[in-house]
């Protein structure tokens, strides 16, 4: 299902069936700015309804009463993904702040309200326009059980695709300075699937 990942310094080609997702992993603000600029240039003709898959990861909370901050922020538009190691970044680039505040952009994900709440709590980042994939799917398929679905269930229902989400990666150290290839693949695919499922539920399979 998921083939190998090829490391080219901080850039990866993540393969998922017939898709190759060009993935940038970085904690450097100006590279985040370049990624956003590239996305907005590529999609310059349809920025008024841009869909962006969003997900976050953090080190598992093992101490009662202690909540670890978001370690990685993943964004995906089409076959291009950013994994921003925000916990190691010197600062939050203004272009990312503006990207999140653009009301023409819809950020999609599973449990996205919790994710954007944590981004605000941890980094004072505001994401203004979001859509939860569970709500979109439940409404589209008139299936109340989808309100509690995870990404794996939604991928099966919407994309007719089986995905594997290993618990050991889910619970791994996302605050490490260097992410493993398995972590990169996991984080990338979460954002990519959030985009793909959101695109289909909002625009239809042919768009």
166 CB-near residues (< 8 Å, 6+ apart): 182, 186
In this structure, what CATH number is given to the domain that contains residue 85?
3.30.420.10
Q: Which has more confidence, 164 or 40?
A: 40
pLDDT, residue 207, reads 57
Distance (Å, rounded) from C-alpha 74 to C-alpha 95?
Answer: 15
Is the pLDDT score of 3 beyond 70? no
Residue 24's pLDDT is: 96
Give the model's pLDDT for residue 206.
59
Query: What are the pLDDT digits (tens) for 129-152?
Result: 999 999 999 999 999 999 999 999
Stretch 65-74: mean pLDDT: 92
Say how far apart CA 29 and CA 90 lie, in whole Å: 7
Task: Give me the domain span that covers residue 72.
Answer: 2-203
- Contact between 138 and 110 (Cβ < 8 Å): no
What does pTM read for this prediction? Answer: 0.92
pLDDT at residue number 180 = 94
Count of domains for the chain: 1
């Amino acid at each position: 299902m998921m083939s190998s990942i090829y490391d080219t310094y901080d850039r990866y080609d993540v393969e998922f069936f017939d898709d190759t997702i060009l993935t940038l992993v970085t904690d450097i603000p100006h590279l985040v700015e370049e990624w956003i600029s590239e996305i907005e240039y590529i999609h310059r003709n349809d920025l008024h309804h841009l869909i962006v898959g969003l997900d976050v990861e953090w080190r598992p909370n093992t101490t009662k009463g202690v909540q670890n901050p978001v370690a990685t922020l993943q964004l995906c538009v089409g076959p291009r993904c950013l994994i921003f190691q925000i916990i190691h970044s010197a600062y939050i680039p203004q272009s990312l702040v503006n990207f999140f505040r653009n009301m023409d952009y819809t950020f999609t994900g599973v449990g996205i309200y919790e994710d954007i709440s944590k981004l605000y709590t941890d980094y004072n980042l505001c994401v203004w326009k979001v859509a939860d994939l569970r709500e979109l799917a439940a409404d589209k398929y008139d299936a109340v059980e989808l309100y509690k679905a995870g990404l794996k269930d939604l991928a099966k229902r919407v994309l007719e695709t089986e995905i594997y989400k290993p618990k050991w990666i889910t619970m791994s150290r996302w605050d490490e300075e260097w992410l493993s290839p398995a972590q990169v693949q996991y984080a990338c695919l979460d954002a990519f699937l959030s985009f793909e499922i959101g695109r289909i539920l909002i625009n239809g399979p042919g768009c």
